[in-house]
Structure 1
């Protein structure tokens, strides 16, 4: 009898425990998901909006700041923080004669009335005007001369030349009530950058005017976002968003599969395309994917033009001719990427199908190197010039990105086949973007992805005023150091062309110079993968173009 009772007790105990565990599992499954963990392989080098320009910083800051304008899926400019988009037709943009007789413009933006900083203070025209003062302390804009506050919400932009992108030039506000005293007391821009609350105390609520604010910041570890209680737009669903650094793509995938993170940042900030393609086959029951071909971002090799060996454009042209980009894209990316013949995508305004291009031709590449003085090779097969200098070039990219490392190995092998040694010295992304690129300390080539707005003139990429140097506090993204008066002139003419046809004509000259001089070696246009767990929606917005955190308030749990 006692044994029978014991058996029944064991059965009942198992049933009770089983029911309890089922209830726990059910409650866990049914519980509202209000925390989102995002993994990323890069981390912002700093948090100030105007000091360095990196994709990962935009990814983070777009959740907590909002620009004046954004883009539709077709590349049309639309208001984000303004009431009306300035046009010549509505009078918010005007062509004016300046005192010196030259042509200029005046452009008027009015802030929406429901924008507030995280400390409850309204975003004002004074914040926009102050943002311009900060912006020009680091890099003097080539066209925008002045921003004046007209009342509490309207600003006037004074342009010293006509610019087709007048509707995109308004600075994103910076809280003058917090940053103004620090900026005015600083000895110089570098001193301000070090003392700015953006870098010293980014958890200050009043720095942020987007749907989220930064609640916790641990350098090179994580950023934690919480809703901005003063945001009047669509209320964010997630009460906490943790953006965590995982410095290798393999570790990032492991974290995703284990459930330590829910999703990954997009493009080159997260998993590589081959990882996404493999996971889409094996993990289709857990995640959804959206693949978006890029027309404005491209992978390339930036060339240090003052490197003695690379200063000869025949060497640069030979390098590009020796890289089999077509096979690289086919083998590594299953033809999901598109070979880039220039920095301009063929579907975009200004692309010239007749521009000079460089097909894969190792024999012609060797001939160009011989013309450049590299006529003999050492015992290791590496070419040398008359002075006995080996044709050896340093290459740096982001460490821990498995596909980039494979691309580097392909480039290294193919260039060795024509007698060029490539020495790979990769660095953590925070070092490469925060120091090596920003201060132009790289010696030869840098492999990375450049991101541009649709229908943009690559002023910051190629104009000589955007070469990072101490005088401009190392801002600008002309990392190659291109200083070509013909390019500068064509860039300014393209910017001044209000009519698309005139802008396209100027772009032909920009493309011609870029593809003749090759300050960058274009490789391919990537495809960006958006990965979302089955329980989540809203990351993909078919009506918008740009970084997905620009509409993070629309992200939801199903």
Structure 2
């Protein structure tokens, strides 16, 4: 009964879809815990997508992976003198720097000019240990020198490989600096990391949540209403500088509708309640089903993406030790025990490739010839036995009086992930592993108190996806410095907690290796080490599925842009005069 009522509410209470009022209604299966956090302390995919509508950067990338100037007056290059590289006598790059000049018409949504001070403020906080950012690199090795109010030079020492293709973030210092000073005063002598973390959450939530919407933004759209559990609405920002000709001909309002159950999301597409679907929405099998019922009402797209589906194995804490999850043999056994080829054929018609590395196949650094861990129950049982696990009377492996029982979590409501869980649960049971499925809303699963708290034994197996631009592959996901701990403010993305000395050494070398062939060699070895240790169970590389109705133009994305919000100022309806510049590839 509850499901029927919820579905009725979604259909009858929906915003009107279509070009009639020059608005756009987008459906997504996830709701962000917060939005427009300048330091991305929540790195949920849907957050990144929505932030794309509200954010701006010095330099951006288009669907072809080509850089373009946004806040900056031009793209830095060696040719124009804005990008400089310093080499030693041996010809090795020892440092590099980029100079940016801010456009005179670049403003925050309240009309305040964007200044160098906004980049300095962001940079100071991203390097503060009290701020739980996903990663401080490369900003921890960067220094900003002010040339004038609109021009600054950022120098990387040691050098940063992608200095000319990326840029530092910014935060509205005129809005946030006073509150930061208060936070700083209150916590600078605080020794308890949990207290500091709670104060940080209070600080950032006062600018980024449904109760306290961002005071200002810099991008093409600004948030105007957020009904938790229901929808988020954004309105066109008149102060955004890169407007298309005749901006009134383009979308004026965008509403995201949060529909966590992907089957309900599909029903909303079929009933015409949505103009488009987020990159974080449909499952692959639903996309296949939807192609059969298009009939000109919508079109379904399958976009090759940079999305890696995997299962993290928690290697930290006493529980992990008791279960031998900190031993690579246990992790190898768990991988040998599952049939990933059959899984992708059954669920995705074999159109999503099985992965054996975290590196995307699109990347030049991808290594093909690593162990593929083909389905081998006998090998899995050998490894379990070598670790001292023997079958009990119920068939479940046990050791020292404890059963090999693992808690397996993912985002609730994602039907494909839930089906994957059921398939893997059955396969693991065949080799004596008891798996308990425990799923959570995405806001909890990706929130501050779950994945990053592996040391506390909050989870054993966690299935989710990482999205990353293949151009900027750095190997950061599994570096030892990236393990979230109380000491680093729970910063970092190495949720598995894997810490391998050889991998860390190779990673540091790769960070400053500008010769591509040498860098490929380093990544070859890094992937071999990773593949042997399997801190995460690699599943497959995902194809992103979405739909949009006819007449909606410039709503596109690629493995380089990741989300359709990259070009949001130009999203519009052809019937309203919007000009199509980009087609979905």
* Structure-1-length-normalised TM-score: 0.88
Greater Cα radius of gyration, structure 1 or 2: 1
For 2:359, the equivalent position in structure 1 comes to 344
For 1:49, the equivalent position in structure 2 comes to 38
Confirm or deny: 8 A CA contact 2:360 2:470 kept in the other structure: no
Report the Cα distance in structure 2 between the residues aligned to 1:290 and 1:260, rounded to whole angstroms: 18
**Alpha-carbon offset, residue 90 of structure 1:** 3.8
For 2:580, the equivalent position in structure 1 comes to none
For 2:345, the equivalent position in structure 1 comes to 330
For 1:463, the equivalent position in structure 2 comes to 479
**Alpha-carbon offset, residue 541 of structure 1:** 5.2
**Alpha-carbon offset, residue 264 of structure 1:** 1.8
Confirm or deny: 8 A CA contact 1:193 1:199 kept in the other structure: no
**Could you list the runs of 5+ residues in structure 1 that have no partner in the other structure?**
1-27
For 2:416, the equivalent position in structure 1 comes to 403
**Could you list the runs of 5+ residues in structure 2 that have no partner in the other structure?**
1-15, 188-195, 575-585
Cα–Cα, structure 1 residues 80 and 513, in superposed 2: closer, same or farther, change >3 Å? farther
SS in 2 for 1:411: helix
2:259 to 246, 269, 277: 246
The answer on 1:135 being equivalent to 2:126 is yes
**Alpha-carbon offset, residue 79 of structure 1:** 3.4
**Alpha-carbon offset, residue 203 of structure 1:** 6.5
The answer on 1:162 being equivalent to 2:151 is no
Confirm or deny: 8 A CA contact 1:144 1:169 kept in the other structure: no
Q: Which moved more, 1:130-139 or 1:174-183?
A: 130-139
Give the alignment of 1:340-489 within 5 angstroms.
340-374=355-389, 376-385=390-399, 387-434=400-447, 435-440=449-454, 442-489=458-505
Report the Cα distance in structure 2 between the residues aligned to 1:192 and 1:344, rounded to whole angstroms: 33
Report the Cα distance in structure 1 between the residues aligned to 2:332 and 2:259, rounded to whole angstroms: 36
Report the Cα distance in structure 2 between the residues aligned to 1:412 and 1:541, rounded to whole angstroms: 34
Report the Cα distance in structure 2 between the residues aligned to 1:88 and 1:413, rounded to whole angstroms: 56
Residues 415-437 of structure 1 show CA distances to partners (whole Å, capped at 9, x for unaligned) of 11111111110001110001312
Confirm or deny: 8 A CA contact 1:125 1:150 kept in the other structure: no
**Alpha-carbon offset, residue 406 of structure 1:** 0.2
Cα–Cα, structure 1 residues 239 and 203, in superposed 2: closer, same or farther, change >3 Å? farther
Residues 150-209 of structure 1 show CA distances to partners (whole Å, capped at 9, x for unaligned) of 312222213220221112452222111101111122134642441344236787675211
Report the Cα distance in structure 2 between the residues aligned to 1:202 and 1:156, rounded to whole angstroms: 37
For 1:210, the equivalent position in structure 2 comes to 219
Confirm or deny: 8 A CA contact 2:143 2:154 kept in the other structure: yes
1:287 to 283, 293, 298: 298
* Structure-2-length-normalised TM-score: 0.84
Report the Cα distance in structure 2 between the residues aligned to 1:537 and 1:451, rounded to whole angstroms: 24
> What is the aligned residue count?
524
Report the Cα distance in structure 1 between the residues aligned to 2:518 and 2:253, rounded to whole angstroms: 48
Residues 269-328 of structure 1 show CA distances to partners (whole Å, capped at 9, x for unaligned) of 21111111101111332101221122x221000111121221111110111111111111
For 2:577, the equivalent position in structure 1 comes to none
Confirm or deny: 8 A CA contact 1:530 1:540 kept in the other structure: no
**Alpha-carbon offset, residue 245 of structure 1:** 1.2
1:83 to 70, 73, 95: 73
SS in 2 for 1:253: helix
Q: Which moved more, 1:44-53 or 1:30-39?
A: 30-39
Report the Cα distance in structure 2 between the residues aligned to 1:162 and 1:482, rounded to whole angstroms: 26
**Alpha-carbon offset, residue 88 of structure 1:** 4.0
Calculate the aligned-residue CA RMSD, in Å: 2.5
**Alpha-carbon offset, residue 96 of structure 1:** 4.6
SS in 1 for 2:235: strand
1:538 to 521, 530, 554: 554
For 2:94, the equivalent position in structure 1 comes to 103
